[in-house]
Homo-oligomer: A and B are copies of this chain.
Amino acid sequence: MAQKGDLMTARSDIRVLDATIRDGGLVNNFMFTDDFINALYRTNVKAGIDVMEFGYKASKELFDVNKFGKWKFCDEESIRSIVGDNNSDMKISVMADVGRCDYKKDIIDRKDSVIDIIRVATYVHQMPAAIEMIEDAKNKGYTVTCNIMAISNAKEADIDQALEMVGKSGADGIYIVDSYGALYPEQIRAVADKYLEVADKYGMFIGMHAHNNQQLAFANTIEAAARGVSYLDATMMSMGRGAGNCAMELLLNFLKNPKYNVFPVLKFLEEHMLPLKESGAVWGYDIPYLLTGRLNQHPSAAIDFTKEKRTDYAAFYTDLLDK
């Protein structure tokens, strides 16, 4: 495929999604203050962000509501307490994990909800369950995406089949998700071309969700965009599990559409993200995440290593190689 767009012009199909609460919530068990969430919502509206993700629709039977902040569950009234009826141009999304969401009960009809977009997160081996969730959300009236996670660990033939299944499901979009931060720009371009072919066939859009294990989250996001990927995930100060995600401040500075405004984001970083970091929340590129990313492993070992404040990188790498 040819490059789409260039460095001088704006692409009208680009949509920026702020995933700070959802992926960042994996860092602090979603224990954000209402003040933080309120400020984030108002910042995103001012900055011209297209979609704000409030968190997960997690099952209250599987997860103890006392052990997590409310954004792991995203009750309708929790979101409405921040956004009212969301009288803004910005859409609201939540993520629903296959096998961890009582979607039949917890996802209500869109006409009764302030949520616009349901993002169904699935591993490639869970596709039949994902398709049921996609169809349920479509029938309820939502815009629906399928976020196939950890593709660096999946067989290409399985991904091909999964893409076809999503295409036929009626979903509106598919996300490239580099959960382990393992993929290089060269691979992202090839994956993007593959996904975009399916998107063209079924009239869908493609999104990109990157992790920063190898300091490639921003690079991979803009390289995917240059192939034609249009939904771009980013988080404030790159807050997200492990090495974090594509930083919103990098992405907004890159995009040329004058509707985006980085100033409110910079204000939010100094007023809310720095205090959050100082309060002890730990995320972002560091050597242990580079090593799990390079070895195409889940970052959990690196997260533990970091929590224990260990710095014996070479011994850690030896351990990883033994796994």
Contacts and interface: CB of A to CB of B under 8 A. Distances in A.
Interface of A: 3, 7, 184-187, 212, 214-220, 222-223, 226, 237, 247, 249-250, 253-254, 262-263, 266-267, 269-270, 274, 285, 287, 290-291, 294, 311-314, 317-318
Contacts of A253: 214, 290-291, 294
B185 A222 contact: yes
Contacts of A222: 184-185
A212 B250 CA distance: 12
Contact of A266 (B214, B217, B314): B314
A254 B313 CA distance: 17
5 contacts: A3-B186, A7-B186, A185-B219, A215-B218, A267-B313
Contacts of A318: 263
A266 B316 CA distance: 10
A187 B262 CA distance: 23
B263 A311 contact: no
Given A290-B253, A317-B266, A218 B218 contact: no
Contact of A226 (B3, B186, B237, B287): B186
Given A185-B222, A253-B294, A270 B314 contact: yes
B254 A184 contact: yes
A153 B263 CA distance: 25
Nearest to A269: B313
Shortest beta-carbon contacts, A-B, top 8:
A219-B219, A266-B314, A266-B313, A253-B294, A267-B314, A270-B311, A270-B313, A215-B218
Contacts of A317: 262-263, 266
A282 to B, nearest CB: 16
A311 B291 CA distance: 30
Contacts of A313: 266-267, 269-270
Given A270-B313, A317-B266, A215 B250 contact: yes
Given A3-B186, A216-B218, 20 more contacts: A7-B187, A185-B185, A186-B226, A212-B215, A214-B254, A215-B215, A215-B217, A215-B250, A215-B285, A218-B219, A219-B219, A219-B220, A237-B287, A249-B290, A253-B290, A253-B294, A263-B314, A266-B317, A267-B313, A269-B287
